[in-house]
């Protein structure tokens, strides 16, 4: 039995699965190919209405996507795929001279509605859900303002703890966003301010 733990985290990894901290395990039977030694983490946002609804969607056999872990806005961790099994989260992707990054990476989905549109003074997600102003991150680095669902502090804390444990357990060299590995995607978006939470590089 392989066990990795940290005194700074409520989580441990036992046989490539997170335990402790109230982790929920949802079985994703469609993923069976071995991953070996993952050396990167790719971060995503779900675009779904809740962490559990996104997890249930990702494990459906008819859905051609999955992830290792979903982290809720309240810090709830849901594991779908063990870390030694390949998940289908990166799609057509490349980074650092390699392609097909599902073969090398751990995929973490963050419960977040993603990019928002401003309609009649209200911020609305692609799924139609209205987002309160206090949960909106405004990005002003381009020619025009864009609006994004912000991440929560507890979500960032749990992401930090999970990534720290993964860095200790596996030869992780890079933690990147989905948008860093394919021009097709914008997640996890500018609301995930990497410098604010990542403490390993």
Q: Per-residue pLDDT tens for 117-170?
A: 999 999 999 999 999 999 999 999 878 999 999 999 999 999 999 999 999 999
Say whether both 53 and 98 belong to one domain: yes
Tell me, yes or no, whether 133 lies in a domain: yes
Residues 6+ apart with CB under 8 A from 112: 45, 46, 47, 73, 149, 151, 188, 189, 191
Say whether both 93 and 165 belong to one domain: yes
Say whether both 143 and 161 belong to one domain: no
Across the beta sheet with 69-71, the strand order is 24-25, 77-79, 69-71, 105-110, 40-45, 174-177
Q: Name the band, by pLDDT with cuts 50, 70 and 90, for residue 7.
A: low
Say whether both 69 and 86 belong to one domain: yes
Which helix (DSSP H) or strand (DSSP E) does residue 68 occupy?
none
pLDDT at 195 over 60: no
Say whether both 93 and 57 belong to one domain: yes
Say whether both 106 and 121 belong to one domain: no
Q: Name the band, by pLDDT with cuts 50, 70 and 90, for residue 201.
A: very low
Of residues 28, 82, 37, 21, the one with CA closest to residue 55: 28
Say whether both 100 and 21 belong to one domain: yes
The larger pLDDT score, comparing residue 201 to residue 52, is at 52
Question: Residue 88 sits in which domain range?
Answer: 17-112+153-195
Say whether both 35 and 98 belong to one domain: yes
Say whether both 128 and 98 belong to one domain: no
Across the beta sheet with 3-5, the strand order is 3-5, 12-14, 17-19
Residue 200 is predicted with a pLDDT of: 46
Say whether both 93 and 118 belong to one domain: no
Tell me, yes or no, whether 11 lies in a domain: no
What total number of domains does the chain contain?
2
Residue 4 is predicted with a pLDDT of: 74
pTM comes to 0.95
């Amino acid at each position: 039995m392989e066990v990795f733990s940290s005194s700074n985290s409520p989580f441990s990894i036992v046989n490539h699965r997170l335990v402790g901290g109230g982790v929920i395990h949802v079985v994703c039977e469609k993923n069976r190919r071995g991953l070996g030694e993952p050396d990167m983490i790719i971060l995503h946002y779900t675009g779904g209405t809740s962490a559990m609804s996104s997890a249930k969607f990702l494990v459906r056999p008819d859905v051609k996507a999955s992830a290792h872990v979903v982290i809720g806005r309240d810090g709830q961790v849901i594991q779908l795929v063990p870390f030694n099994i390949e998940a289908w989260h990166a799609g057509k992707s490349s980074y650092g001279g390699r392609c097909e990054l599902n073969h090398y990476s751990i995929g973490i989905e963050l419960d977040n509605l993603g990019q928002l549109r401003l309609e009649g003074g209200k911020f609305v997600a692609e799924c139609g859900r209205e987002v309160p102003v206090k949960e909106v991150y405004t990005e002003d680095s381009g020619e025009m303002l864009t609006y994004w669902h912000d991440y929560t502090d507890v979500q960032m804390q749990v992401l930090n703890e999970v990534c720290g444990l993964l860095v200790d357990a596996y030869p992780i060299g890079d933690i990147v966003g989905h948008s860093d590995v394919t021009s097709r995607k914008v997640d996890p978006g500018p609301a995930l301010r990497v410098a604010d939470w990542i403490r390993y590089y």
